[in-house]
């Protein structure tokens, strides 16, 4: 099968190569999926789990990619809940990756059914941003109707999901980003927008929940905006600052079939729009991941026509 392969962590995406690799086999509780569309997280090649297994052993050459949508072709021993020929979407384990390929072996519990009226590119684009937003807002942030949310990177793949899900739950959303992101953030439902280059972040006032995707100085300043009892949730690593009277939580998402099903239902009925910035073929994937211009939204690889 064709796959994107990396062997050199220092080379980053420039070290990606399209080559032939053996098709994967389904272990116990696995399925093999014929990949139709795949996503890639921009900093995935910096994660330790991309390069070693859970015991710290080198696992190069590596096929990266966690996000996928496709069709089940094989069931491993003991696998239940899915069937051969079923359309699915979800995330592979970060220690396995493998979705930037024509086939991938993945734990069945990490996948959910993909309805026939949802395109594979949409399924691949919604899994990671959707789960990140869902778990940050509702599991860790415990968002309630009437609360205010400061959503950093509101025009990005994760931030646009945060904005939409928070609005649907009855939250008041203040989005942030660069000046050029203002209209896109508002289009996704932000009720206010803070230009981080030209506006004072502190003018956003007190909020109940900050959803941070940036880290660093922005994260530290955001902690000071949180009202008593509020929460800072971040996917940018351990928090360097905490709210004076609240919680700071950094988290790593986990795939969850029930949550994936909730998310894709919202896509189907129009409550949730995906944020796809660019679609490329597997043959063009290396060039797509090494573009020099800035692009908002997910880059999705269409593995099969």
Identify the pLDDT of residue 28. 97
Identify the pLDDT of residue 27. 95
Identify the pLDDT of residue 119. 97
> Is residue 257 left, alpha or beta, with left meaning phi > 0 and alpha meaning psi from -120 to 50?
alpha
Distances (CA, A) of 173 to 149, 160, 167, 248, 301: 5, 11, 7, 19, 31
Identify the pLDDT of residue 214. 93
Identify the pLDDT of residue 41. 85
Written as six digits, the tokens of 53 are 């297994």
Identify the pLDDT of residue 145. 98
Residue 201, Cα to own-chain centre: how many angstroms?
A: 25
* pLDDT tens-place values along the chain, 305 residues long: 999 999 999 998 889 999 999 999 999 999 999 999 999 888 889 888 989 999 999 999 999 999 999 999 999 999 999 999 999 999 999 999 999 999 999 999 999 999 999 999 999 999 999 999 999 999 999 999 999 999 999 999 999 999 999 999 999 999 999 999 999 999 999 999 999 999 989 888 899 999 999 999 999 999 999 999 999 999 998 888 889 899 999 999 999 999 999 999 999 999 999 999 899 999 999 998 887 776 778 899 999 98
CB 98 within 8 A of CB 24: yes
């Amino acid at each position: 099968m064709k796959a994107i392969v990396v062997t050199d962590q220092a080379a980053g995406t420039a070290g990606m190569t399209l080559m032939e690799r053996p098709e994967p086999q389904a272990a116990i509780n696995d399925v093999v999926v014929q990949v139709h569309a795949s996503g890639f997280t921009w900093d995935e090649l910096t994660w330790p789990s991309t390069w070693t297994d859970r015991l710290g052993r080198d696992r190069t050459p590596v096929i990266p990619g966690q996000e996928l949508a496709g069709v089940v072709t094989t069931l491993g021993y003991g696998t239940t809940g899915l069937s051969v020929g079923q359309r699915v979407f979800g995330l592979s384990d970060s220690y396995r990756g493998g979705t930037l390929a024509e086939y991938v072996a993945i734990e069945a519990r990490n996948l959910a059914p993909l309805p026939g009226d949802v395109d594979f590119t949409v399924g691949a684009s919604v899994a990671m941003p959707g789960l990140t937003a869902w778990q940050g807002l509702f599991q860790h942030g415990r968002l309630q109707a009437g609360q205010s949310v400061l959503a950093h990177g509101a025009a990005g793949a994760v931030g646009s999901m945060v904005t939409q899900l928070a609005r649907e739950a009855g939250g008041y959303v203040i989005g942030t980003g660069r000046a050029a992101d203002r209209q896109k953030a508002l289009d996704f439902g932000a009720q206010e927008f803070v230009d981080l280059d030209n506006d004072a972040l502190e003018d956003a006032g007190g909020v109940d929940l900050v959803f941070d995707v940036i880290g660093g100085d922005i994260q530290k300043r955001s902690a000071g905006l949180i009202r008593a009892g509020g929460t800072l949730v971040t996917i940018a690593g351990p928090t360097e600052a905490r709210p004076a009277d609240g919680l700071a939580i950094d988290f790593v998402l986990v795939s969850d079939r029930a949550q994936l099903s909730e998310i894709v239902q919202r896509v189907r009925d129009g409550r949730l729009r995906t944020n796809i910035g660019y679609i490329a073929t597997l043959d063009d994937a290396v060039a797509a991941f090494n573009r020099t211009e800035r692009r908002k939204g997910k880059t999705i690889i269409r593995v099969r026509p």
